[in-house]
Amino acid sequence: MKRFKLAGLAGLFLPWAQVTYAEPLIWGFQAEQFEYRAMDGEDAFVWDFDALAGSDELKFVWRSEAELGLTSDDFEKLENQARLQFPVSPFFDAVVGAYADTPGGAPDRYAGVVGLKGLAPQWFEIDADLFVSDHPFFRFEAEYEALLTNRLIFTPSIEVDMPLKDDLARERGAGGAIVEIGARLSYDVIDRAFSPYVGVNYEASYGDTKDIVKANGEDTDAFSIVFGTRLMF
Amino acid sequence: MRLFKAKQCALSETALSSSEHLAKGLSRRQFGLTAAAALAMPTVLRAHGSPKITSKGTYDVTVDRVRINTGNFRKMGVGYNKSQIPTILRFREGEEVTINVTNNLRESTSIHWHGLVLPFRQDGVPGISFNGIAPGETFTYRFPIQQAGTYWFHSHSGFQEPDGAYGAIVIEPRDGERLGANRDYVVQLADKHPHPGSRIMRNLKRMPDYYNRSQRTLQTLIKDSRQDGLKAALKDRGMWGRMRMMPTDIEDVQGYTALINGRSTSQNWTGLFRPGEKIRLRIINSSAMTYFDMRIPGLKMTVVQADGNDVKPVTVDELRVAVAETYDVIIQPRENKVYSIIAESMGRTALVRGTLSPKKGYAGAVPRLRSKPLLTMADMSGMMGMDMGDHVMQNASGMQTMSGMEHSKMQGMNKPGMNGMENSGMNMSGNHDPFYAPGSGLTPKAYNGGKFLSYTDLRAARPLYRNRAASRTIELRLTGNMERYIWSINGVKYEDADPIVLNYGERVRIRFINETMMAHPMHLHGMWSIIDTGQGARNPIKHTVSVQPGTTTDIEVEVDAPGQWAFHCHLSYHADGGMFRKVVVRGRPA
């Protein structure tokens, strides 16, 4: 679509370089989830954020998703991704990157990422990523912001992880989906920078994954009440 | 409030008042006033900051980091001569001016003299006319003043202009003012945001609706379904949602406090008058992003000048001032009462009231914001690639054909062109403004049901050029990707674009085809933009031309200024987002 440019990224490392009419660096931090999850078993602290820098043509994104068990003080989940994002259509970006999944008490997983991120018709925000490794899986995320008022926003979301191969050490069976459904009601207190919310979150596993989890004597689903804040700066 | 005013006044080194100007026998140069003298004057006379005039024709301007207080919020910004009150530079046609601009910022700056005809090296655009003014440096501009009227100046560096770096220019004609007004006030409008410009841009790039707090919600859905039925309301939302467009997308940036001469409604800029006097208001829209609709309830305004060029007087109840445009109006309040000068944003999200009063210490009434407009499918009609009904598409192509016919084939025969448009069945009401798409949600209506100014009402009082045919037409499609907040011309943003090449001595027609759903005030530096309104030799001569969504607007340019020039949308974040071109004029006078 456009010439591939590293100008924006160069700006990352050379912030002092003053070039006439260089487009300003696009950067920022955005957390969709930054929350306390109260559930039956162990309560947890969860974050899901993107930190980005770049240009219209190319952005570098650090994406981090984590779930910290508050009793065990162990990461149930700790995923970090380094992603490069570039436009492929008016509303969608392609993504390539690297993924590191390093929870406590379970083997680490590393993968390459290819995906798409963008805005589908009717304002659905979509992330679709394929994680390529010995333990490949596919992830689909969708989110919709329903404006009750211009500041009170109801956000249903869904995230589906679909293992493409068995990974017993991580309790995943090929074709057995792990589905997370959430609904959060937020209020923009300061611009869109600080938007506290309350909500619910439900996570369940299906198919082979469910069987593996069950065989290990663990819960195959979990319901939680969440409260936290969206952040953007 | 009182304290605040006093403080502000103390900040401006010296102050000139417009009314003083009219005092006969005093030369402009005699106003090298001391701060003490300025303080001794009544508040209302200290309306503006002003440059230091060191000797005849020499003006000193400083660019400073200033504290800005709008009454609603405080912030650090940029200002001239250490003040949030815009500086007025007063020149006389025919003089040669020397302007020493001292940059007290920690970053590079520049001053562009908006609308002035001058050598391109003096035009003040970094990277095109010069290298900018480094921190601590004093740059000297020198150029002859070859015109009269109301203009303005602003920084062309980064986001300094939205951050406050703007001022006014008033040029007296060689032989004195012709209009015989008793009072003469600059009314400089601005939109002041609590966020710095760089942060606004960053937010827009990541979330284009970051500042749109006028979006349709569950509440409006309920209201609409009561009115039109749930099915129709959902269908309408479905249609906009399919395109991923918003009918509320009229003002990208909201949350502004509007200012008149650096003062918000609560700070109440006031101009004094005696009943029966003729007052000239020099309205300048120095906003970053906001079109303002201007009215003075209870008074008619007679528009006498647009963008510095006199027009045949036309009397209106309200007018829309696009970003960077200027209009001079004459008003004549006959009653001994207080009047409000109201500037209300086109999207109805911001409003400022200034006061015209026979006495100090009064404030005019503040009306409520009128209901917010919504864009219609007509405003989308320029987006040819979108999935829309054929009907809308035909309208769009019809418009283009018409304007083509009207201008190139029927030069001088303006009536047939206009009739043609009306006859093409484009659902136009009797006094539809042809500069808006038929059925546009942005078509203005005067507050009192009276006359709203249109470009078609502007007739040049003194045409600058012989009316001749243009030798060629350059088509510029105004394009953009709202979701990415990328703005472009012919689909290419500035960074990736080749310059537009013009030849010295030619007359070119530039056809703007607005394929976005937003209005764009297009500003060509260095040369006049003669809008084709179908008035032939009387077509108005402007420096900034607002092109409404879904419309085609033609201008003609006499290429009489060698060098290289900037050409861009004057919405700060659109220009920065890429709706910008360099124009190179090849050749020079023999």
As to burial, measured by CB atoms within 10 angstroms (0-12 exposed, 13-18 middle, 19+ buried), residue B146 is exposed
Token pair 């101009």 in the structure block, residue:
B271
3-state secondary structure B230-299: HHHHHHHHHHHHHHCCCCCCCCCCCCCEEEECCECCCCCCEEECCCCCCEEEEEEECCCCCCEEEECCCC
State the nearest Cα–Cα gap between A185 and chain B, in angstroms: 14
Give CA–CA dist B395/B549, Å, rounded. Answer: 13
Looking at the structure, tell me whether residues B329 and B405 fall in a common domain.
Answer: no
pLDDT at B233: 94
Number of residues assigned to chain B:
590
Give CA–CA dist B490/B483, Å, rounded. Answer: 18
| E strand residue ranges, B361-506 | 472-481, 486-489, 500-503
Mean pLDDT of chain B: 86
**Secondary structure (DSSP) of A4-41:** ---HHHHHHH-TT---TTPPPPEEEEEEEEEEEEEESS
pLDDT at B404: 33
For helices B390-404 and B414-423, give the axis angle rounded to 10 degrees: 170
Q: Is the pLDDT of residue B6 over 80?
A: no
Q: Which residue of B has its CA nearest to A150?
A: B213
Residue B578: list chain A partners with CB under 8 A.
23
Nearest to B282 by CA among B181, B350, B194: B181
Give CA–CA dist B308/B302, Å, rounded. Answer: 15
Residues 298-327 of B with CB under 8 A from A: none
Contact (CB<8Å) A146/B218:
yes
Three-state DSSP class for B391?
A: helix
- Residue B408 has phi, psi (to 5 degrees) of -85, -35
Count Cβ neighbours within 10 Å for each residue of B492-523 and write b for 16 or more, e otherwise: ebbbebeebebeebbbbbbbbbbbbbbbbbbb
Contact (CB<8Å) A149/B219:
yes
Quick check: B387 contacting A, CB < 8 Å? no
Question: Number of residue pairs across A and B with CB atoms under 8 Å?
Answer: 74
CB B528 within 8 A of CB B539: no
ipTM of the shown complex: 0.90
Quick check: B241 contacting A, CB < 8 Å? yes
- Per the domain annotation, does B118 fall within a domain? yes
Quick check: B203 contacting A, CB < 8 Å? yes
Q: What is the largest CA-CA distance in chain A?
A: 64
Q: Is the pLDDT of residue B400 over 60?
A: no
pLDDT in tens, B519-570: 999 999 999 999 999 999 999 999 999 999 999 999 999 999 999 999 999 9
pLDDT at A12: 41
pLDDT in tens, B190-242: 999 999 999 999 999 999 999 999 999 999 999 999 999 999 999 999 999 99
Residue B218: list chain A partners with CB under 8 A.
146-149
Helix (H) or strand (E) run with residue B22 in it:
helix B18-22
pLDDT at A129: 98
Residue A121: list chain B partners with CB under 8 A.
241-244
State the nearest Cα–Cα gap between A138 and chain B, in angstroms: 26
pLDDT at B55: 75
Residue B243: list chain A partners with CB under 8 A.
121
Q: Which of A20, A23, A28 sits opposite B127 (nearest CB)?
A: A20
Looking at the structure, tell me whether residues B186 and B331 fall in a common domain.
Answer: yes
Give CA–CA dist B246/A167, Å, rounded. Answer: 45
Give CA–CA dist B69/B55, Å, rounded. Answer: 33
pLDDT in tens, A183-194: 999 999 999 999
Q: How many domains does chain B have?
A: 3
CB B200 within 8 A of CB B354: no
Looking at the structure, tell me whether residues B326 and B465 fall in a common domain.
Answer: no
As to burial, measured by CB atoms within 10 angstroms (0-12 exposed, 13-18 middle, 19+ buried), residue A54 is buried
Q: Is the pLDDT of residue B431 over 70?
A: no
* Tokens describing residue B141: 């501009």
pLDDT in tens, A32-70: 999 999 988 789 999 999 999 999 999 999 999 999 999
In sequence order, the β-bridge partners of residue A114 are: A96, A130
CB B244 within 8 A of CB A121: yes
Q: Is the pLDDT of residue B35 over 60?
A: no
Helix (H) or strand (E) run with residue B108 in it:
none
State the nearest Cα–Cα gap between A28 and chain B, in angstroms: 8
| E strand residue ranges, B33-124 | 52-55, 58-69, 74-80, 88-92, 96-103, 112-114
Looking at the structure, tell me whether residues B381 and B269 fall in a common domain.
Answer: no
Q: Which of B132, B206, B216 sits opposite A26 (nearest CB)?
A: B206
Q: Which of B131, B213, B486 sits opposite A150 (nearest CB)?
A: B213
Looking at the structure, tell me whether residues B329 and B433 fall in a common domain.
Answer: no
Residue finishing a domain among B323, B338, B373: B373
Looking at the structure, tell me whether residues B139 and B186 fall in a common domain.
Answer: no
Looking at the structure, tell me whether residues B52 and B120 fall in a common domain.
Answer: yes
Q: Is the pLDDT of residue B412 over 80?
A: no
State the nearest Cα–Cα gap between B458 and chain A, in angstroms: 36
Assign residue B281 the CATH number of its domain: 2.60.40.420
More confident residue, B447 or B398: B447
Looking at the structure, tell me whether residues B317 and B369 fall in a common domain.
Answer: yes
Number of Cβ within a 10 Å radius of residue B177: 14
CA torsion B70-B74-B77-B83 (nearest 10°) is 50
pLDDT at B16: 33
pLDDT at A158: 98
- Per the domain annotation, does B210 fall within a domain? yes
Looking at the structure, tell me whether residues B165 and B260 fall in a common domain.
Answer: no
Ramachandran bin of B244, using left for φ above 0, alpha for ψ from -120 to 50, beta for the remaining angles = left
Nearest to B123 by CA among B133, B108, B113, B134: B113
More confident residue, B569 or B44: B569
Looking at the structure, tell me whether residues B8 and B114 fall in a common domain.
Answer: yes
Contacts of residue A97, Cβ cutoff 8 Å, sequence gap at least 6: A61, A81, A82, A83, A84, A112, A113
Contact (CB<8Å) B241/A18:
no
Contact (CB<8Å) A23/B576:
yes
Which of A13-22, B30-39, B352-361, B488-497 is predicted least confidently? B30-39
Give CA–CA dist B440/B437, Å, rounded. Answer: 5
CB B545 within 8 A of CB B522: yes
pLDDT at A41: 78
Interface residue ranges in chain A relative to chain B, Cβ cutoff 8 Å: 2-3, 7, 18, 20-21, 23-24, 26-28, 30, 52, 56, 87, 90-91, 119, 121-123, 146-151, 191-192, 232
Residue finishing a domain among B373, B396, B428: B373
Looking at the structure, tell me whether residues B407 and B323 fall in a common domain.
Answer: no
Nearest to B159 by CA among B509, B572, B465: B572
Q: Which residue of B has its CA nearest to A52?
A: B206
Contacts of residue A62, Cβ cutoff 8 Å, sequence gap at least 6: A50, A51, A52, A80, A81, A82, A83
Token pair 């003609």 in the structure block, residue:
B556
Domains, chain A, in order of start with CATH, read 7-12+30-232 (2.40.160.40)
Q: Which of A24, A148, A150 sits opposite B201 (nearest CB)?
A: A24
Q: Which of A21, A56, A149 sits opposite B127 (nearest CB)?
A: A21
Contact (CB<8Å) B238/A122:
yes
Nearest 5 degrees, angle CA B299-CA B302-CA B304? 155
pLDDT in tens, B82-120: 999 999 999 999 999 999 999 999 999 999 999 999 999
- Per the domain annotation, does B225 fall within a domain? no
pLDDT over 90 percentage in chain A: 86
Looking at the structure, tell me whether residues B112 and B162 fall in a common domain.
Answer: yes
Quick check: B244 contacting A, CB < 8 Å? yes
Q: Which of B131, B198, B484 sits opposite A24 (nearest CB)?
A: B198
Identify from B73, B108, B125, B206 which residue to disrupt to test chain A contact, counting A C-beta atoms within 10 A and taking the largest count. B206
In Å, how far from its chain's centre is CA A108?
A: 18
- Confidence (pTM): 0.87
Nearest to A121 by CA among B486, B71, B545, B243: B243
Strand pairing category for B183-192 and B279-285: parallel
Helix (H) or strand (E) run with residue B172 in it:
strand B166-172
Contact (CB<8Å) A123/B244:
yes
Distances (CA, A) of B417 to A52, A173, B8, B453, B473: 52, 72, 53, 20, 18
Half-sphere exposure of B235 (CA within 13 A, CB side): 5
pLDDT in tens, B368-394: 999 999 999 889 877 754 433 333 233
Identify from B73, B195, B203, B239 which residue to disrupt to test chain A contact, counting A C-beta atoms within 10 A and taking the largest count. B203
pLDDT at A23: 73
Contacts of residue B179, Cβ cutoff 8 Å, sequence gap at least 6: B278, B280, B304, B330
Give CA–CA dist B306/B327, Å, rounded. Answer: 4
pLDDT over 90 percentage in chain B: 79
- Per the domain annotation, does B239 fall within a domain? no
Quick check: B450 contacting A, CB < 8 Å? no
Contact (CB<8Å) A3/B496:
yes
Half-sphere exposure of B119 (CA within 13 A, CB side): 10
- Per the domain annotation, does B227 fall within a domain? no
Strand pairing category for A44-54 and B74-80: unpaired
Q: Which residue of B has its CA nearest to A118?
A: B483
Reduced DSSP (H G I as helix, E B as strand, rest coil) percent helix, strand, coil of chain A, to 5: 10, 60, 30
- Per the domain annotation, does B244 fall within a domain? no
pLDDT at B251: 94
Residue finishing a domain among B320, B345, B373: B373
Residue A15: which pLDDT band, with cuts at 50, 70 and 90? very low
Contact (CB<8Å) A148/B219:
yes
Per the structure, the complete domain to which residue B100 belongs is given by: 2-175
pLDDT at A200: 98
pLDDT in tens, A116-137: 999 999 999 999 999 999 999 9
* Tokens describing residue B195: 């966020």
Residue A58: list chain B partners with CB under 8 A.
none
pLDDT over 70 percentage in chain B: 83
